[in-house]
Every structure is written in structure tokens, then in C-alpha cells.
Amino acid sequence: MVKRYGDTVYKSLTLIVAASSILFIISAVAVLLFNAYPSIISNGLGFFTSANWNPSLSGTVETVNGIHRLTGSSFGILVFIADTLASSAIAILLAVPAGLGVAIFLTEVAPRRIAAPISFMVEMLAGIPSVVYGFWGLIVLGPYLFNTVEPYLAEHLSFIPIFSGPISSPGLLSAGIILAIMIIPIVASISRDMMARTPKESREGAKALGLTRWEVTRRIVLPYAKTGIVGSIVLGLGRALGETMAVAMLAGSGVQVLPKSLYYPFSTIASYMVLNLDAALTDPSGMYLSAIMELGLVLLAITVTVNVAARLLIKQGFASSSENVVRV
């Protein structure tokens, strides 16, 4: 009986600790909700439908329906949403072909002794801190784009609206490229793992029918790994949507207009949050901070949804790949 007692204590101890992660996340959401509450009530639906974000720090405190805010302040987050989506979209557009290309090279093209070190290097990309990416973007990529790529694009592709217009050094394009580099390891390594799970029997069956390597990849391997690949892309998207430091270092500060071209300075939700806490604390009514907290809730909702979807897809990809093994 004494033994059982010890087991119970041990189990309870680990259980309480395991519960701590639940506690952390619930309290984090509670803190965000509690602090966002004045903004949710005061700004209502206009928070999501307006593109006018103006904390109006020179205003005076007024009280409407028991909630304090500054006169003339307005909080609409459309610009942040648009910038977040735009920079992530650029990242995905660039990262998907590059990441899949790397994955195909690693599983289908390269011999093992070449694939192993390249795999290793692609994983190294994931180990570089995001602030270092931001630094590199600031001193290498940004100036290069500004001096070489953007003038060329603006001159030759200006008939396409997003390529026209005045260029600027920190802009959507540079942030999108940095984000792409950051999420390529995610797309490449998960896709590679999924593609490598294609049963040898299916590959050989197709090869024996006289398919070229690319045909085996396209007709057998890619369909087989499809769910997992989509999952990896969605996971990369989640990372891009929430990435903070690299984007904050490349975002031109303070410009809040809807982006019209690739070169526009911008603010994503995360970059705005990291750059403006100090400013928000100067609002004596607290509404500015509250609005930022509501912005944080929006970011939380977006990233959690995307991440959960990605994990479900990847899980399903793994599950179906173990099911699909031909049983006799």
C-alpha cells in the first residue's frame, strides 16, 4: 500500500506541473482580454473596419459610457491587418517554390552524401536569431534592393500596379524576403520528411513503368505528401504572421496607410506592438494600451488558428502516410 501511495504522489506532482502550461496560457489570454476590454467596448466593430489608427496623444481625456479615452482618438486596425497579410503573402510566394525546390532536391535529386550537408545547412538557417536577420536585412538586403532591384522593377514592371510607385529602403519587399528566408527551413524540412515517407513500392512501381524522375515526383511523391506539404506551408505562414523583430527592424516607422506597392513602408501587427509600447504608456486614459492589447488578441487569434490548422494538417499527413502502406 505504501508503494501505491508513493505512485499517487508522484503522479499528482507531475500532473500539477503539466497543468502549469494550461495555467500560463489561460492567464496570458485572460490578461490580454482584461486589458483589451475597454477598447473592445469603446471601439466596437469599427476596430476591424476602419483604417484610421490615430492615438491622438495631444487630446484630452474624455469619458464616454464610463470608459476613458482621448478626444479625437480613433483605433482602426485595417492597415496593420493588410500589412501583416501582405508581408506574409510575399514571404509565402517566395518561400513555397524555394522550399519545395530544396525539398525535391534533397529527396529526389541529390545523392545522400550531398543531401546530408545541405539538409544540415538549411536547418542552420532556422537556428539564426531573428534579430540577426533583421540586422542583415537592414545593412545588406535593404540597400541592395533599394539600389539595384527596386529601381529596375519600378522601371520595367511599373505597368503592374504593385511594382510602380516611389521606392523606399525599408519596405514590404525587403520584409517579405527576410520572412521568406526565415520560413524556408520550415517548409523545406517538413516537406522533405513527408516526401521521404513515400513508400518505396510506389516509387519503384512508377519507375518501372518508365516514368522520369520528375514524373515520379509529380505524380507519386507530391500527391502522396500533399497534406503534409500544405501543413508545412501553413506552419510557415503562422511563423511569418507572428514574426516580430526582423520585421520591426525593417518596417519604416509610423506610416499608416494601406500599402499600394511593394516598396511601401509598413507596420505589421507584431512590429507595431513592439515599437509602440512606450508611446502607449504615455496615454493617460489607457485607451491606447488597451487598443494595442486588442490588437494583440487579434494577432493571437490569427496565429493560433493558423498554427492549429497547420498542426492538424501535418498530423493528418503523417497519419495517412502510415496508413497508405499497402497491406496485403
Partner 1 sequence: MREESIPRNPGPVHESYIKIQDLNAFYGNLQVLKNIRLDFQEHQVSAIMGPSGCGKTTLIRILNRMNDDVPGFHIEGNVTIQSLDIYGRQVDPVLLKMRVGMVFQSPNPFPFSIYENVAFGPKIHKLFKRKKELNRIVKESLQRAALWDEVKDRLAESAMKLSGGQQQRLCIARALAVQPEILLMDEPASALDPGSTSKIEELIVELKQNYTVVIVTHNIQQAARIADSVVFLYKGEVVETGRAPTFFENPSNPMTEKYLSGQLSSV
Partner 2 sequence: MQIESEKDGEGPKGSDIARKLPWQDPRVLFRYKLRRLADKMVVAVTILAVVVVLYPLLDILFMFFYRGALAISIPRLTGLTLQFGLANAIVGTLLLVSLSTIIAVPLGVLGGIYLAEFSAQDQMSKTFAGTVRFLSDVLSGMPSILLGYVGFLILVIDFGWGLSPLAGGLILSILMLPYVIKTTELSIRKVPLKLREAATALGATKTQMVNRMTFPLALPGILTGIILSMSISIGETAPLLFTAGFSNYYPCGLTNCQVGFLTYIIYTFAKIPTTDSLSLAYLSAFLLISFSLVLNMTARIGLRRLSKI
Footprint on this chain of partner 1 (rule: CB under 8 A): 111-112, 199, 201-202, 204-212, 215, 219-220, 224, 324, 326, 328
Spatial separation of the C-alpha atoms in residues 206 and 199, rounded to whole Å: 11
Spatial separation of the C-alpha atoms in residues 93 and 236, rounded to whole Å: 11
What burial letters (b/e) apply to 294-306, b meaning 16+ CB within 10 Å? bbbbbbbebbeeb
Query: How many C-beta neighbours within 10 Å does residue 208 have?
Result: 8
Spatial separation of the C-alpha atoms in residues 45 and 67, rounded to whole Å: 16
Of positions 249, 251, 262, 287, contacts partner 2 by CB under 8 A: 249
Which range of residues in 67-75, 152-160, 234-242, 256-264 is near partner 2 by CB under 8 A? 234-242
Which residues, in sequence order, are CB contacts of 243 under 8 Å at separation 6+?
A: 130, 179, 182, 270
* 238 interacts with, out of partner 2, partner 1, none, CB within 5 to 8 A per kind: partner 2
Least distance in Å: CB of 25 to partner 2? 5
Least distance in Å: CB of 28 to partner 1? 43
Q: Would you count residue 132 as binding partner 2 (CB under 8 A)?
A: yes
Q: Would you count residue 109 as binding partner 2 (CB under 8 A)?
A: yes
Spatial separation of the C-alpha atoms in residues 154 and 174, rounded to whole Å: 15
* 176 interacts with, out of partner 1, partner 2, none, CB within 5 to 8 A per kind: none
Give kind and range of the element (H or E) at residue 108: none
Which residues, in sequence order, are CB contacts of 212 under 8 Å at separation 6+?
A: none
Q: Would you count residue 75 as binding partner 2 (CB under 8 A)?
A: no
Least distance in Å: CB of 218 to partner 1? 10
Q: Would you count residue 21 as binding partner 2 (CB under 8 A)?
A: yes
Spatial separation of the C-alpha atoms in residues 46 and 53, rounded to whole Å: 11
Of positions 303, 313, 317, 321, contacts partner 2 by CB under 8 A: 303
Compare residues 79 and 230 and give the one whose CB is closer to partner 1: 230
Compare residues 155 and 201 and give the one whose CB is closer to partner 1: 201
Compare residues 26 and 258 and give the one whose CB is closer to partner 2: 26
Spatial separation of the C-alpha atoms in residues 139 and 170, rounded to whole Å: 11
Which range of residues in 17-25, 52-60, 67-75, 192-200 is near partner 2 by CB under 8 A? 17-25
Least distance in Å: CB of 300 to partner 2? 6
- By three-state DSSP, how is residue 176 classified? helix
Task: Measure CA 193 to chain center.
Answer: 21
Q: Would you count residue 213 as binding partner 2 (CB under 8 A)?
A: yes
The residue type at 218: R
- Assess contact for 77 and 53: CB atoms under 8 A: yes
Compare residues 108 and 261 and give the one whose CB is closer to partner 2: 108
* 40 interacts with, out of partner 1, partner 2, none, CB within 5 to 8 A per kind: none
- By three-state DSSP, how is residue 74 classified? strand
Least distance in Å: CB of 67 to partner 2? 18
| Alpha-carbon torsion, ordered 274, 277, 279, 284, to 10 deg | 160
Q: Would you count residue 270 as binding partner 2 (CB under 8 A)?
A: yes
- Assess contact for 59 and 70: CB atoms under 8 A: yes
Least distance in Å: CB of 127 to partner 2? 4
Of positions 41, 121, 157, 258, contacts partner 2 by CB under 8 A: 121
Q: How many residues bind partner 2 (CB under 8 A)?
A: 85
Q: Would you count residue 97 as binding partner 2 (CB under 8 A)?
A: yes
